[in-house]
Structure 1
C-alpha cells in the first residue's frame, strides 16, 4: 500500500539523503575541536529510525510502498522534537527540507488514522471547544485586569499573547504588557484571540489549522494593525512562516518576536544596573532561532542591560541544543522531554552563569522542570521579565 498524498510534496527531497550521518553530530572546529550531540531523540533512543537519516528513509519507503504505517512507526515519527538541529548539521541538499519531511510524515500518520498520539488528539478537541490546547476556559485568557485594559478593536500594534503564556506562564504576559506600556506603545490585545494553530501543525493535524490561520489573519487585518508582536517563539514561527508556507496565506502586516521589537525600541527605556553584576547565559528557542532566524536580537537586548554579563553555552545559535518540549513531545513522551532539558541545564551550569535566560514560555517551562528534577541551583527567567525588572 502506497502512502497518501501527504508525502507527495516532499518526495523530491527524500532521495537526496545519502545517509552520511552528518545529521547526528555537531562539529565544533573553532574554540573546541570536538563533536557534540545534535539530535535529542537519536541520542535518547540510540536507534537509526529516531535520527533524521532514519526518518528520511522511512518516508522514502512509505512513498515507494515498501513500508506501511504502523503504531511502531508512528511512535518513532512523533519522538522527533522538530528542533531542526539536523538541518544545521546536514551536508546534503536536503538540509533545508528535513523538518518539512518530518512534518509530512506526521500528516501522513494522521491521514492513515494511526496518528497523532493520544495526547495530541486532545489538542484539536480543546482548541475546537475553548480556543486553546490546554482546554482552559476561553474567557480566562483575558481574566487579568492588566490584560482587560488593552483589549480593543483597533491599534497599529497587536500583542498576541499565545496559549502557553496566557494559561501557563502568565508572568510573561504581565511583563510583556508592562514593558510595552513603559515604552509608550499603544497596542491592542484582540478580544477574540485564539490559538495560533502551532500544536496542530506540528502534530500532523495541519488541515484543521487552516481555518485558525484564516481567522487570525482576518482579526489582525480588521484591527488595522501594522505589526503583530508575540512573546512565544512557537507563535512567532507559526505567524511569521507557517501561515504562508503551509496554507499559501499572505499577511498584510509585519510579525515580530518581542525581542526584535525590544531591540528596535530599546532606546525608549532606561535601565538601572544589576548589583552585583549577573552572569547570564542565553538559550536559543528552536522556533525563534533555527526556524525563525532570530539569533542576535535577544543578545543585543541583553548587552544593553547594565551589569549583565552574557556568556555563551558551547552549543548556541544554529547549534543550540533543544529544550525538549516542542512538537508535542512534552505532552506525549515526557521522559524524552525532561532528559533533553536536563542536558541543557548541565550545559548552562558549565558556563559559570547563575541565570539562564530564554525567549519562549515553552522553553522556560520545560527547562524549569529540569532545574527542579536535577536539583540545580540555576535560576531561570524569560528575557522580557529580566528587561522589565531592570527598567529604572
Structure 2
C-alpha cells in the first residue's frame, strides 16, 4: 500500500535536488545528527521505498515521526517542494498500513474519538475554564477555545475572553459543542475522524451567527483556516483569525487601549503555525510595540528565519527529549538578548519553552501575549 501511495508523489521524490539546504535548517536533524533524521535523508528513504530497495518498518516509521512539521525545510527548498505536506501524507500512509503512528499518538486519537478532546476530559467541562465570566452561545464574534486552553491552560482562555469582552462585543463560545480542531490528528497522519470533525465544528461555529472566529491557539488557527476549507469543500462561512491579528487591528482602530505600563525587556518567539505556515509576523510585534514601557528586543533568528520551539508535529508527545532539546536551543537564543520575558502566542510553544527555561535554570519568564495585554489593560486585578 505505501509503495502504491508513493507512486502518486514520485515526481516530487525525484525532483529533490539533494542539496541539503533543508537539512541545515532542520531542528530535529540538528539534535539527532544522523542524515536520515533530516529532510534530505527522508527524501532518500522515499526513493529507496519506491524502488523497493527497502521495506517500511519501525525504524522508517520513527524517522518520519521525528519531525515538528515546522516548515523550515519547505521555506528553503530549492525546488519548491511542499515538504510538510509530503511528511504528513507519508505519515497517513503509514497509518493506513498499520505501521503508524507512534503509540502515544494512538492514545490521542482514541481520546478525541471518545471525548472530542485530546485529554480524555468530560465534554461537559469544556466551559470550566471560564470561572465567573459570562458566556454566550451567540455573537458576531466566536472564540474557538481549543483543547489545551479549555483543560490545561485555562488562564490563556480566561485572558483571551477578558480582552474580547472588554471591547464591548458579545462573544460566542461553543461549550461542549466544541470538538478538538483535529490538528494533532492531521499532523500525525490519523485522518479517519477528520471529515466528521471539520463538518461538526464548521456547523457549530456557523450556528453561533459569528462573522469572525478567533483562536488563541495557533494550532487551532492554522488547522481551521488552512486545513478545513479543502476538507469542507468550500470557503468557510466565517472569517478565521488568530487573536494576535484581531487585537492588532483593534489597537490600530483605537478600540483597544492600554492603561498601564509594562517596564520590561521582551523578546518574541514566532510560532511556526502562525509564522511559517500562515505568514503572520507583524501582528504580535505590533501589539508588543504598542504596550507602554515595553521594550521589544529581537533574537537573531526571527520571522521566516525563526527557530522552531520543538513542540509541534506530535514530537512533544512522541519524542519529548528531542522536543525539549530543541526548545533549549531557542531559549539560549532568547537569553542572549538580555530580555526578562520570552513572549509568544501559542500554548504549545508556551509549554515547551517554559520547560526549557526550567531545565536550563534560565533567568527568563515565558508569557503569552494575551497575558501581557491583560496586564497592560489593567484587567489582571
Structure-2 separation of matches of 1:63 and 1:245: 28
Taking the TM superposition and a 5 Å limit, the aligned residue runs for 1:88-127 are 88-94=75-81, 97-127=82-112
Which position in structure 1 is the counterpart of 2:261? Answer: 274
Q: Which residue of 2 aligns with 1:213?
A: 198
Q: Call closer, same or farther: CA 1:284–1:150 in 2, change over 3 Å.
A: same
CA 148–379 in structure 1, closer or farther in 2 if over 3 Å, else same = closer
Q: Report the counterpart of residue 29 of structure 2 in structure 1.
A: 42
Map 1:163-242 onto structure 2 (within 5 A). 163-191=147-175, 192-242=177-227
Match of 1:3 in 2: 3
> Does structure 2 conserve the Cα–Cα contact (< 8 Å) formed by 1:263 and 1:300?
yes
Shift of 1:145: 4.3
When residues 54 and 246 of structure 1 are mapped into structure 2, their CA distance, relative to the original with a 3 A threshold, is: farther
* TM alignment of 1:13-52, pairs within 5 A: 13-25=12-24, 38-52=25-39
Cα distance per residue 1:19-78 (max 9 Å; x no partner): 1111133xxxxxxxxxxxx21110111111111111122233333433321000001110
Show the counterpart of 1:32. Answer: none
Q: Distance in 1 between matches of 2:264 and 2:315?
A: 33
The reply to whether residue 72 of structure 1 matches residue 72 of structure 2 is no
Larger mean Cα displacement after TM superposition, 132-141 or 362-371: 132-141
Distance 1:73 1:249, change over 3 A: farther
**Equivalent in 136, 140, 146 of residue 121 of structure 2:** 136
Q: Give the C-alpha shift of residue 357 in structure 1.
A: 0.2
The aligned residue for residue 344 of structure 2 is 358
CA contact (8 A) 1:227 1:254 kept: yes
SS in 1 for 2:78: coil
Correspondent of 1:244 among 229, 235, 238? 229
Distance in 2 (CA, whole Å) between partners of 1:270 and 1:263 is 11
Matched, 1:311 2:310: no
| Deviation per residue, 1:187-240 (Å, 9 max, x gap) | 100130110000100000023212101111111122221111000000011001
Aligned to 2:40: 53
Q: Gaps spanning 5+ residues in structure 1: where?
A: 26-37
Structure 1 runs of 4+ off > 6 angstroms? Answer: none
Superposed CA offset, 1:70-102 (max 9, x none): 0000011101111111112222232xx010111
Cα distance in 1 for partners of 2:152, 2:59 equals 32
Cα deviation for residue 139 of structure 1 reads 1.8
Tell me if the contact between 1:3 and 1:108 (Cα under 8 Å) persists in the aligned partners: no
2:308 is matched with which residue?
322
TM-score after normalising by structure 2: 0.94
SS at match of 1:228: strand
SS in 2 for 1:268: coil
In structure 2, C-alpha distance between the alignment counterparts of 1:132 and 1:21, rounded to whole Å: 38
